[in-house]
Structure 1
Amino acid sequence: MEAPRRERISYKKYKNSLLTLVSNLSIAILLFQFPLTDAYSHIRASDQLDDSADTGASALNNNNKLLIILIDGFRWDYYTRQKAKLPGFSQLISDGTHAEWVEPMFPSLSYPTWTTIATGLYPEEHKILGNYMLHRPSPIDTTTNDELSTIPETVFSLLNDSTKLPFWWKFVEQIWTTVTKAGRKVSLANWARCDVPFNGILPEVCTGYVYQDVNTHFRDDLLNALKRLQNGFSLAMVYDDLIDHVGHKFGPDSNELKLTLVHRDAQIRELLMAIQMSGMANKINVIITSDHGMTSLDKTVKRIYLEEFVNMGDVHRVVDYGTVVSIAAEKDRSAALAQSLAAIPSAGVLVYSKDDIPEELHYKRGTFALDFLLVAKPGYFIVGVKGEKQIPNDEKSSSAQPYAGVHGYFNMTDMRTVFFAKGPAFKKGKIQPPFRVVDQYQIFMKVLGLSPNRHHGNWDSVKDMLVA
């Protein structure tokens, strides 16, 4: 996910907070040596409830529970380059299954990938095409009674309440709705748009995403998720964006990133110990996944300045900047805008009209796709325009150096991400060949013993990691 835009963050204060957290890590590790600490007192085996209320036929075990942890911006090689300092993730690997890597989709951005993880569908079908989108109403079609035609022009913007408008989310059912419809309890923590009803249905517990300088509640979110799984819930989902924020601000190769990963590893290790002490290790499956990787935005990356190529009189809106940009033309100005965009060097940026977007991107049939799509190649970065036509309209969008780290590229090794899994449904010590982000949804449903909705996953790509 992108760094926050709503407020200027004191990263000096943030960095000091991070280093304080990490400096306390040695104390936390010492606590791990004791057989039971107060942190686990509420999840002892004696507190377990009867699981007989669970419904749905399972090919694995009717009592299987699933905890999905999405750590935003976790690049595929972050673990291997410092694994000696990451005993929690090492335990996941030795006691469970992990993928060599997970292939991201296009675009390798947060909101589209979160929705793909929760549906198994590509963006052109689930309709969430980016962290920023523009709905432009078309003439009312009385034959289809399309309600979108009656909705005025609306912006979908990463960190404000525009993302909560129901019409963005009406097209497909996400996993928490499916599991809820099956009569099971679902809990989500810090998870974007679990708080928007789908056909009037909400999960039992949902805390929507709220940005914080440092996510200090991740540990509590994990332990609360475990407590709920122990007390009758079938599915818990926890989201964390700290790794992503640090990667954007300091870069993927920074010491700050490495320290942050060590701290998150300690909390994962604490969770694994808590599961063992709860007496639920034979029922709870833990999956840690991510949405994309991260790459450096340094001086070697060539900048493409949109304002040098386009006549802004031809432009209605420019949506996003960086690696993937969409442009809506003013009425009757598409041809003129296309001619201007053709001057952008194709060695660095691929420019597509909507109808010409390649099928392999799984994008062009998206309801909110605009007139033109610009895709930066690795080594290039698109700088947005100044003024109200730019979405988002802030200083970062027209800056040549908004971040130290970026993502969103297509077919780039640094965009690869991770998958770890441990529990009764998964083989022990299994190294799974690479698979795609869209393949994960069917794993979740298999573990829960529920039939998946239609999806784009390939079962043969993932089935060997499961015990049955």
Structure 2
Amino acid sequence: MTHTNPSRPTARFHTPASIKPRAPTKAILILMDGVSADYFEKHKHRLPTLLRLAGDGLSITRLRSTVPGTSMPGRASMLTGAAPQANGIYGNHIVRDGSFVCADASDLRVPTIAKLAKNSGLDVASIGAGLIDPADCDVFVPAWWERGFLQGSRSFKSLSENRIARSRMIKDPDGRLRAAGVFDLFGFPSSSDTVASTALVAGLAADHLMIGAAGALACSENPPDLILTEIDMTDSIQHQFGYESEAAHWSVAAADMMIGALIEGLRRVGREDDYAIVVASDHGHSAVHTTIYPDAIIPDLLWESEGATLHVLVDGAHDRRIADGLLARFQVEPWSSDHVPVNERDCIATYVAPPGHSFEETVGDTQEAGPTGRPRYLSTHGFRPGSAEDDRICLLSIPGMQPCNVAWGSAEEFTPTIAQILGLSNAPFSAKGLL
């Protein structure tokens, strides 16, 4: 069941942050896709690496999610320190030329922490992180999931060959990956193979390769100042097997071990105190029991699902009234589109599903099942804004900092905090860092 967040405590700092970290320092940013604040609070005993990180520096118990609480808006807020209405990424898919297309780094309207670091003379490496422009990096490896994300989009046929080619373009002009012992980063099995489980195995292998490459660079003779990387199968496995399923527990524990191996590698070469290790999630997760099929309810309108949030492309008040009336039959509630940039707000109507529901496209036999059914994704995100299920983890192990806990933090505070660690100016940000 979706529920609203508990009231925010008056005092955000549970433990005084009286000792500032040594600054500037290097940083490794690791995104763990879809790990919720609730999950970590309940199951931290399964995650020894994250538990140690939580006690080593600054831990934020509940990092508030963006609207909607889905992957691309979550990543964009963490990279820019700006809300979706300012950074331009208000969904996994955004409207361009009258249709929904996959959000891309080129759609960002404000600079990322990678660009700010690069422009300040820092050495930046992005190893499998989404929404990063290769031009902002000295070493760049695209997100391994990006090609699948593009191919799964209904707008795939309209994508340029250059856009698809970039999903496998590695930038490493000085051969630093090879010098660090990293070779074939896209050698994992193809998800088109005949074994049904291959896609999950390939994803786990890809996560392992990306985290391993990030750690190898950090331990190399020429370690970057800022490394951005991701672990993504924690989200996919929760979607497929369910929140708090045994498979979900295993996937998060495997991610914990990957991070532990990276930290152990730093320790072996004497660099554990050179890097701040930052682990954060883009959104939370929670179980759903029913899905709503918009294409069966509003077949004449273009739409895109954001989990339990729905974006509908409308042409004026008439389309809005039609969508409002048809969706209301299924307790779908109209919501504000304030998270959409002002110049696009009039053409995008936003809706939220009732508790325990999500939005999906009909596939195969579901076309005969009617307007609702059993979800393919047993767990999802993007719930009604303010829902606790979408709150995410944020742990920052920072050299020289006394352990400190913050009860909650906003998405916009994350990037300025990373800038503080790196010794960058907070001038571009609307919010202040937490250090």
Task: Tell me: CA distance 1:446–1:267, structure 2 relative to 1, closer, same or farther (3 Å).
Answer: same
Q: Deviations over 1:355-381 (max 9, x none)?
A: xx365xx33526477342222243333
| Residue 288 of structure 1: how far off its partner (Å) | 0.3
**What is the distance in 2 between the residues matched to 1:61 and 1:367?**
43
Task: Tell me: CA distance 1:133–1:188, structure 2 relative to 1, closer, same or farther (3 Å).
Answer: same
- Aligned to 2:42, what secondary structure does the other structure show? helix
**What is the distance in 1 between the residues matched to 2:343 and 2:76?**
14
Q: Could you tell me which amino acid in structure 2 is paired with residue 173 of structure 1?
A: P
Task: Tell me: CA distance 1:89–1:366, structure 2 relative to 1, closer, same or farther (3 Å).
Answer: farther
Task: Tell me: CA distance 1:385–1:87, structure 2 relative to 1, closer, same or farther (3 Å).
Answer: closer
Tell whether 2:232 aligns with 1:241.
yes
Match of 2:349 in 1: 372
Q: 1:157 aligned to 70, 80, 102, which one?
A: 102
Q: Could you tell me which amino acid in structure 1 is paired with residue 294 of structure 2?
A: L
Tell whether 2:334 aligns with 1:351.
yes
**What is the distance in 2 between the residues matched to 1:181 and 1:128?**
22
**TM-score with structure 1 length normalisation?**
0.68
Instruction: Work out the percentage of aligned pairs sharing the same amino acid.
Output: 18
Q: Could you tell me which amino acid in structure 2 is paired with residue 185 of structure 1?
A: D
Match of 2:214 in 1: 225
Equivalent positions of 1:19-34 (< 5 A) are none
Q: Name structure 1 gaps, 5 residues minimum.
A: 1-58, 137-152, 388-392, 464-468
| Residue 272 of structure 1: how far off its partner (Å) | 2.2
Task: Tell me: CA distance 1:155–1:83, structure 2 relative to 1, closer, same or farther (3 Å).
Answer: closer
Tell whether 2:401 aligns with 1:437.
no
Q: Return 214-223 or 101-110, whichever deviates more.
A: 214-223
Q: Could you tell me which amino acid in structure 2 is paired with residue 306 of structure 1?
A: P
Maintained 8 Å contact 2:93/2:101:
yes
Task: Tell me: CA distance 1:399–1:207, structure 2 relative to 1, closer, same or farther (3 Å).
Answer: farther
Q: Return 261-270 or 282-291, whichever deviates more.
A: 261-270
**What is the distance in 2 between the residues matched to 1:336 and 1:236?**
45
Maintained 8 Å contact 2:417/2:432:
no
Tell whether 2:396 aligns with 1:421.
yes
Q: Deviations over 1:398-422 (max 9, x none)?
A: 8641211111012211111101111
Q: Return 211-220 or 438-447, whichever deviates more.
A: 211-220
Q: Could you tell me which amino acid in structure 2 is paired with residue 250 of structure 1?
A: F
**TM-score with structure 2 length normalisation?**
0.73
Q: Deviations over 1:262-285 (max 9, x none)?
A: 222222222222222221222211
**What is the distance in 1 between the residues matched to 2:262 and 2:80?**
26
Maintained 8 Å contact 1:127/1:366:
no
| Residue 339 of structure 1: how far off its partner (Å) | 3.9
**What is the distance in 2 between the residues matched to 1:174 and 1:207?**
17
Cα RMSD (Å): 3.0
Q: 1:306 aligned to 289, 294, 299, which one?
A: 294
Q: 2:95 aligned to 124, 127, 134, which one?
A: 134
Q: Deviations over 1:161-191 (max 9, x none)?
A: xx46x3x23x211111111111111011111
Tell whether 2:37 aligns with 1:76.
yes
Q: 1:88 aligned to 32, 49, 69, which one?
A: 49
**What is the distance in 1 between the residues matched to 2:252 and 2:306?**
28
Maintained 8 Å contact 2:68/2:306:
no
Q: Return 93-102 or 119-128, whichever deviates more.
A: 93-102
**What is the distance in 1 between the residues matched to 2:78 and 2:268?**
30
Match of 1:179 in 2: 117
Maintained 8 Å contact 1:326/1:370:
no
Equivalent pairs counted in the alignment come to 354
Higher relative contact order (CA 8 A, sep 6+): 2
Task: Tell me: CA distance 1:309–1:423, structure 2 relative to 1, closer, same or farther (3 Å).
Answer: closer
Q: Could you tell me which amino acid in structure 1 is paired with residue 101 of structure 2?
A: F
Task: Tell me: CA distance 1:341–1:226, structure 2 relative to 1, closer, same or farther (3 Å).
Answer: same
**What is the distance in 1 between the residues matched to 2:295 and 2:100?**
22
Tell whether 2:277 aligns with 1:286.
yes
Maintained 8 Å contact 2:78/2:415:
yes
Match of 1:15 in 2: none
| Residue 340 of structure 1: how far off its partner (Å) | 4.7
Tell whether 2:139 aligns with 1:205.
yes
**What is the distance in 2 between the residues matched to 1:342 and 1:425?**
57
Task: Tell me: CA distance 1:289–1:340, structure 2 relative to 1, closer, same or farther (3 Å).
Answer: closer
Q: Name structure 2 gaps, 5 residues minimum.
A: 1-19, 146-198
Q: Could you tell me which amino acid in structure 2 is paired with residue 184 of structure 1?
A: L
Match of 1:256 in 2: 247
Maintained 8 Å contact 2:65/2:282:
yes
